[in-house]
Amino acid sequence: MLRWVRQQLGFDPPHQSDTRTIYIANRFPQHGHYVPQKFADNRIISSKYTVWNFVPKNLFEQFRRVANFYFLIIFLVQLMIDTPTSPITSGLPLFFVITVTAIKQGYEDWLRHKADNEVNGAPVYVVRSGGLVKTRSKNIRVGDIVRVAKDETFPVDLVLLSSDRVDGSCHVTTASLDGETNLKTHVAVPETAVLQSVANLDKLVAVIECQQPEADLYRFVGRITVSQQAEEIVRPLGPESLLLRGARLKNTKEIFGVAVYTGMETKMALNYKSKSQKRSAVEKSMNSFLIIYLIILLFEAILSTILKYAWQAEEKWDEPWYNEKTEHERNSSKILRFISDFLAFLVLYNFIIPISLYVTVEMQKFLGSFFIGWDLDLYHEETNQRAQVNTSDLNEELGQVEYVFTDKTGTLTENEMQFRECSINGIKYQEVNGKLTPEGFSEDSPDGNRRGLVKEEELFLKAVCLCHTVQINADQTDGADGPWHANGITSPLEYYASSPDEKALVEAASRVGVVFTGISGDSMEVKSLGKPERYKLLHVLEFDPNRRRMSVIVESPSGEKLLFTKGAESSILPRSKSGEIDKTRIHVDEFALKGLRTLCVAYRRFTPEEYQEIGKRLHEARTALQQREERLADVFNFIERDLELLGATGVEDKLQEKVQETIEALRLAGIKVWVLTGDKHETAVSVSLSCGHFHRTMNILELVQHKSDSTCAEQLRQLAKRIKEDHVIQHGLVVDGTSLSLALREHEKLFMEVCKNCSAVLCCRMAPLQKAKVVRLLKTSPEKPITLAIGDGANDVSMIQEAHVGIGIMGKEGRQAVRNSDYAIARFKFLSKLLFVHGHFYYIRIATLVQYFFYKNVCFITPQFLYQFFCLFSQQTLYDSVYLTLYNICFTSLPVLIYSLFEQHVHPHVLQSKPVLYRDISKNAHLGFKPFLYWTILGFFHAFVFFYGSYLLMGEDTSLLGNGQMFGNWTFGTLVFTVMVITVTMKMALETHFWTWINHFVTWGSIVFYFIFSLFYGGIIWPFLHTQDMYFVFVQLLSSGSAWFAIILIVVACLFIDVVKKVLYRHLQPTSTEKAQMYSNRVALSDEFIALQPLSRARNQLSKISLLRQVQVSTAWTPCAASQMGKQHAHLLEECWND
């Protein structure tokens, strides 16, 4: 019972056994010793809470926050002891914050529950009792045989048993899982592929043994044992046999599969991205400020308690005639009384800690994040993709970036490959008008006929056409002749591929005469200059990042067993024993210098004995349940050796639009750009030069091809020495993966010293984990810089998750990077707008919001502290309890929230066109100790002016009413409170540069609301209030002309110094941002200025300004959107100023 309760509360997940054995159709052994394993049901649960655990779990999470827990303690203290203020003053704001947050989180979770119920209630068909039974998705159990029809999604993770095709194959698309839109082929084992009817499947007796669930979409290790006529046949199961939940069946009428992973154990569910645990620098500063203010609070409480007892040391003040102690008070413990008084003062001053800060920051981040998605400048029309926000917790971090780590392929480039050149048997070729033309050979032969392919060329192109994972649109493979016309010329085939390189190579081969026409059963069909050939596909040696190559073993029409391999030159050339190796290496380097992506192609012939040995080793490795990957890697290395080199390919990946301008803007903003790529050295350097990452005038240093620690260390020392001695402004560093591993192992500090003195760093031949290590190295260095990683592929996920801010590019390499990122954009060029405009605005807004909150609470509580000096530290409150409660919730909350959503201190186009302004906010400049100290001192100064200004007015029993009646202490407190509300609201108005009608409404509306509320609250006797100290107090205060004069005088006195300081600083020591503000403010040319112009010129100015005002109105609701109109705004601004 206890375990069930723990599971319902989410603290005790069900136990998992070490192995998973699945009896197909749940035909368990009949002997009595077998105990069936327990598996999860097929319910998908994306929700966080249940009906039972919502209240305790949500409260637990909310009270983990320091401010919420602190106010809970204060509230409990108010309930337990006699305190000067009602428990409502702490309880109501706490209840409000907790309730608002709980409602928001509960609503979001209800939406998740609703979506889960739709998925779990979807109809499915399973094979039970010899027939198809319709049931709900949530009722599928592990071991059930499930039928899925064309275009349906798989409801569980299935091992494919059979399809409507004879060979048991089917096509699926995994776009919803990884974004890859190409068709993937999955195959059933031969023993079950023939079972295409429900009746035959119902008779199947088989057992699947497989690994426990894991999140890797591309890994599955298992085996199936089929019992046939008292014989047990064992077949390996890999990723090609597994159909993942969420994938969709394509070009196949129906399939049958057995459920192996269900519900939250499916790979899709295991890949649900948990919310990012990254914390922004602003949040860390906020927590530091809270601790400082907590110390101030404790100091004030302790000082007040000590002064109280110091004052009461005199007998006349200890027990005055009007306040005699009871017998119990006289006999009580002094220590207990001291603690009680200390807690009472703690309660009295507790509002110096702003409880509503957290909820306001959450609202600002959540609502502010919509502006990124709404920004039309971040919308990519060609792909119909807009910017995406996956977490709003890091908005302000976009304004603090110091290092950008970027992938190359698909991030800086388009990932649209075009075949350019190739090297075959030591001869370079180019494609000219659909012909493969050797270098220096004229493509126009005298008779105009096509030059035939020589043997080496044909073998090279066949290798390209056979060694790949390309699929063909099924509609084009129907019919006897497929895509061929009678004259033997092909119509264009539509290829699908997960790798753009493969697609470009297969398309190029088809253009020059060797066409891949599809896969039929276990055969690959190729037409070479119109002649069809069929190669039997025996084995596929899948690509992996460690080997950096893929291979296929095929049987040629002549019965010969051949291995075709393609991959990076570093993984192919060392394994080649024959062919034009040296010439090909030279050609590969030449291709790389042109910025082309290179692949080498090789092959190997097997003797019957060799193939038999290979087949045996592959079977043993693929049927192993333990260490399958390691065994397969050993077998693959054994097979892929003694190769004969055929040649190499050069494919161009063109740069994205405005990449060079974006990188240059990042450099001007003080951001260092590191390119981390898996490409070879020469290719990466060529692309870095073409995209502006490296300048032609830059001194490029190299740390490459080191095999030992000693040589790597020596080279690092030489580079460090060279940087000091060279009088070059900018250095660039190139480092490869192997040298990087050596540098990070023993010489991390020296490597970091070299890197930090380089304005651009290029890391080539990088593995995915190496990318993450480099990011972590910079992130954890003593300076603790803010890092940003941007990439588009699965190999970039680790670095995206490691960096402070991760950005995914919606490219052609799937959606893994986008799913695991904090933000997603369609093109690299959008990064400048995201950082220089959105990041700048978010940081300025939240920095002001946080410091303003602390400022207004210092203004609020300090008069309370000062008042104790005038009431013998009797813990008498200065303000009414209702004012205490509503100050942060109603009277001063909206102006700062609206400011934090809409503020634009500089025009967006100016920010984007002047990246140097980004330097003004770097290194948390607006939330450092100096700005914090300024806002805190300003708060104390204003508080002193509020209190002593009001005291001077009302001191010495001055009569301020016409009838000679004196003001009381509640009137004094209300006067202080009124001055305070007006001043802190006006202070927010002074900080606002971008005024919309919403800003005007909430700023002046907050002051008006305070006056109206106070008139109603104090002007009516409310029957539900126990006491009403404020009855007629506010009306009486406003009836005094002297009080009105005091309010105006004190507000002006408070803000005057602040205004003078701003004016002096702007004229004597203006920052770059303040200069830009003056520049953009010139747009608001006054009517008087225009009136002084000649008539024709004034008309011209008026027409421009009318357009500018239209732009300002249109962007009022979307202040971050510097659209085309916004750019026109800035150009007109310059024209107006020049005129």
Residues 6+ apart with CB under 8 A from 440: none
| Burial (Cβ within 10 Å: 0-12, 13-18, ≥19) of residue 280 | buried
Q: Provide the angle, in degrees to the nearest 10, between the axes of the packed helices 840-867 and 893-902.
A: 160
Q: What does DSSP assign to residue 139?
A: G
- Residue 234 CA from chain centroid, whole number: 44
Amino acid at 705: Q
Per-residue DSSP letters for 559-574? S-EEEEEEE-HHHHGG
CA diameter of the chain: 128
In angstroms, the CA 419 to CA 410 distance is: 16
Q: Please calculate the CA angle 465-466-472 and round it to the nearest 5 degrees.
A: 70
* Burial readout 794-823 (b: 16 or more C-beta within 10 A, e: otherwise): bbbbbbbbbbbbbbbbbbbbbbbbbbbbbb
Question: Partners of 699 in the beta sheet?
Answer: 731
Pairing status of strand 222-228 against strand 523-528: unpaired
Amino acid at 192: T
* Burial readout 409-429 (b: 16 or more C-beta within 10 A, e: otherwise): bbbbbbbebebbbbbbbbbbb
Overall residue count recorded for the chain in this entry: 1139
Question: Partners of 787 in the beta sheet?
Answer: 403
**12 annotated active-site:** no
Asked whether 646 and 601 are in contact (CB, 8 A), the reply is: yes
Q: What does DSSP assign to residue 15?
A: P
- Nearest CA to 138 out of 160, 122, 114 is that of 122
Amino acid at 904: Q
- Residue 944 CA from chain centroid, whole number: 45
| Element of type H or E holding 1016 | helix 997-1019
| Composition of the chain by helix, strand, coil, percent to 5 | 50, 20, 30
Q: Please calculate the CA angle 519-520-522 and round it to the nearest 5 degrees.
A: 90
Question: Partners of 701 in the beta sheet?
Answer: 733
In angstroms, the CA 237 to CA 187 distance is: 10
Residues 6+ apart with CB under 8 A from 260: 20, 22, 142, 156, 157, 158, 159, 208, 210, 222, 242
Q: Is 874 helix (H, G, I), strand (E, B) or coil?
A: coil
In angstroms, the CA 179 to CA 888 distance is: 46
Please identify which of the residues 178, 377, 407, 796 carries the catalytic annotation. 407
Alpha helices in 784-928 (DSSP H): 797-802, 816-819, 830-833, 840-867, 881-886, 893-902, 908-913
Q: What sign does the dihedral 468-469-473-478 (CA atoms) show?
A: positive
Amino acid at 550: M
Q: Please calculate the CA angle 424-430-436 and round it to the nearest 5 degrees.
A: 75
Asked whether 770 and 737 are in contact (CB, 8 A), the reply is: yes
**Tokens found for residue 141:** 């159990």
- Nearest CA to 477 out of 516, 445, 426, 436 is that of 516
Active site residues: 407
